Chain A
């Protein structure tokens, strides 16, 4: 079966700096792939290239086996790839509902918004994700929410569109234990429904627990592809990562 998305020998430079060097990676249907690497290893650059925010200088991106041209963020979303970015990609002055539907609004002909439908859907989603405060409704501005609640909005956006692949960039950063558990539950739910997750983190324990496969990135290069069967513990994964960094 074709992988949902495949990165083939992708290189991305910013000025004189090579942020990604010949990086290859693929995600198959129904699997959780953990992408790990030290700070500055190029994890976020890889994600942003994968989802069309950055244009690669070299290499190919394939969706379900087909090479894509003029890849951009909108096309990635239309291809069923949703991303929860590290910065959460929210607009704090706008309402929860506008944030959830940002860029993929429900529309009538001529571009008018299906307002009521959006609000109803957003209210359903934020209950589903489990917002703690009952006072929160879809028309509250995002700027009034806590960090965990904001992550909930970003995740709600990713699940609304029934994406086949959900990319989570450092989703557990700055979250409480309770909120982190919610993120894990979410990942497991996605996997159960035979969809895929690409999980990026530098907390090895978080990544180890939920991933089926690991990809280690170091200084812009993919240095290891590992299956979970071959790794006994997070400590072993940590050791492999450390050895990689040392060997440079």
Chain B
């Protein structure tokens, strides 16, 4: 009990989980480098990863806030599609794409807020309730679109396209937006009242309430942020692919959740790490793409994803039990 009081102990307590996931990331890179050096040296492997990572970052980092607040959300994978649909249908009908994006983002945030309010006000299980919303919203999308895609071939003639997903000295712009998002989330989580309250609410909501923190409001805001991140992911992907398709986002559901936990955020609330989650995203993205790149059949992918998740969780056990 007394062994964590030193400076190094505190450092470890504060950063151990992030350092852990950086370690797993480095280990994974090493395995790839040794196992398949030629594939590793090919730039297109890393390019594909960098196309996938921004979307996954937009989805994953807000989930760190939510999980740290003691809740969970699965519905984001459908919110992703609803926001993208709102954007696509508006842009398709000739409304200014920048405005359409804004409305799409607001839609995602609003859905997050509604899901959060539903869970918090009626004291529902966030796992089960958000599972319900996941299916419900996906159903709405399929009904609205009649399962048809929407293509936006002319979208790249608008100024917003190169700003968001164009190329800058060969690098896709979404990398820069994702980097800004990471920095924003980092400061919000560790240096802002919202992030601090997230920690308190997830750690001990009774204490937080007694100290005058509005627990429900903090949680609803966290759900809104998840909705916002999902909308960002959906809209970016739609821009990059010029297409909205009604099943989009579903594939990210488990990947984003895996990235949160592989990244070192524990499931029990009160703790979380943005830096760790970024590396968690890196691990998941390299697994998804790396397995195929090194010439193995894609059928191995899920097997290795599962293995990595379990190994990472076992590793994070080293950071100890929840203190009470």
CA distance A129 to B206 in the complex (A): 25
B206 contacts which of A51, A87, A112, A113 (Cβ < 8 Å)?
A87
The bracket for how many chain A residues form the interface is 35 or more
Q: Are B212 and A91 in contact (CB under 8 A)?
A: no
Q: Are B192 and A144 in contact (CB under 8 A)?
A: no
B213 contacts which of A85, A102, A140, A144 (Cβ < 8 Å)?
A102
**Stretch among B2-10, B152-160, B309-317 lining the A interface:** B2-10
Q: Are B323 and A112 in contact (CB under 8 A)?
A: no
CA distance A98 to B212 in the complex (A): 14
Interface string of A105-122 (1 = CB under 8 A from B): 101000111010000000
Closest to A135 in B: B5
Chain B positions within 8 Å of A90 at CB level: 204, 207
Closest to A107 in B: B193
Q: Are B271 and A93 in contact (CB under 8 A)?
A: yes
B187 within 8 A of A: yes
Q: Are A94 and B191 in contact (CB under 8 A)?
A: no
B199 within 8 A of A: yes
Chain A positions within 8 Å of B209 at CB level: 53, 73
Q: Are A91 and B323 in contact (CB under 8 A)?
A: no
Q: Are B212 and A76 in contact (CB under 8 A)?
A: yes
Contacting residues of chain B (5-52) with chain A, CB-CB under 8 angstroms: 5-7, 9-10, 13-14
**Could you tell me the distance in whole angstroms from the C-beta of B320 to the nearest C-beta in chain A?**
10
Chain A positions within 8 Å of B211 at CB level: 73, 77, 89, 102-104, 157
CA distance A48 to B209 in the complex (A): 11
Q: Are A91 and B204 in contact (CB under 8 A)?
A: yes
A139 within 8 A of B: yes
B196 contacts which of A53, A98, A136 (Cβ < 8 Å)?
A98
Q: Are A93 and B191 in contact (CB under 8 A)?
A: no
Chain A positions within 8 Å of B191 at CB level: 112-113, 115
Given A73-B209, A102-B200 in contact, is the A133-B192 Cβ separation under 8 Å? no
**Could you tell me the distance in whole angstroms from the C-beta of B7 to the nearest C-beta in chain A?**
8
A143 within 8 A of B: yes
Q: Are B199 and A98 in contact (CB under 8 A)?
A: yes
A92 within 8 A of B: yes
Q: Are A77 and B212 in contact (CB under 8 A)?
A: yes
**Could you tell me the distance in whole angstroms from the C-beta of B153 to the nearest C-beta in chain A?**
41
Interface string of B191-226 (1 = CB under 8 A from A): 111101001100110111111111000000000000
CA distance A105 to B195 in the complex (A): 12
B123 within 8 A of A: no
B1 within 8 A of A: yes
Q: Are B10 and A94 in contact (CB under 8 A)?
A: no
Contacting residues of chain A (139-174) with chain B, CB-CB under 8 angstroms: 139-141, 143-144, 157
Closest to A48 in B: B210
Q: Are A105 and B193 in contact (CB under 8 A)?
A: yes
Closest to B199 in A: A94
Q: Are A144 and B199 in contact (CB under 8 A)?
A: no
Chain B positions within 8 Å of A157 at CB level: 211
Closest to B197 in A: A103
A45 within 8 A of B: no
CA distance A85 to B204 in the complex (A): 14
Q: Are A74 and B212 in contact (CB under 8 A)?
A: yes
Q: Are B210 and A111 in contact (CB under 8 A)?
A: no
Q: Are B200 and A94 in contact (CB under 8 A)?
A: yes
CA distance A94 to B204 in the complex (A): 10
Interface string of A205-237 (1 = CB under 8 A from B): 000000000000000000000000000000000
Q: Are A93 and B196 in contact (CB under 8 A)?
A: no
Q: Are A144 and B5 in contact (CB under 8 A)?
A: yes
Q: Could you tell me which A residues sit within 8 Å of B by CB distance?
A: 48, 51-53, 72-77, 83, 85, 87-94, 98, 102-105, 107, 111-113, 115, 133, 135-137, 139-141, 143-144, 157
Q: A113-B196, A137-B10 are in contact. List 9 more A-B contacts (CB 8 A).
A: A74-B212, A74-B214, A91-B203, A91-B208, A98-B196, A103-B211, A111-B194, A133-B2, A135-B5
Can you list 28 A-B pairs, Cβ within 8 angstroms, ordered by A? A74-B214, A76-B212, A83-B210, A87-B207, A88-B207, A90-B204, A90-B207, A91-B200, A91-B204, A91-B207, A91-B208, A91-B270, A94-B203, A102-B207, A102-B208, A103-B211, A103-B212, A107-B193, A112-B187, A113-B196, A115-B191, A133-B5, A135-B5, A137-B10, A139-B10, A140-B4, A141-B323, A157-B211
9 A-B pairs closest in CB distance: A143-B323, A74-B212, A103-B211, A91-B203, A135-B5, A89-B207, A73-B212, A111-B193, A93-B270
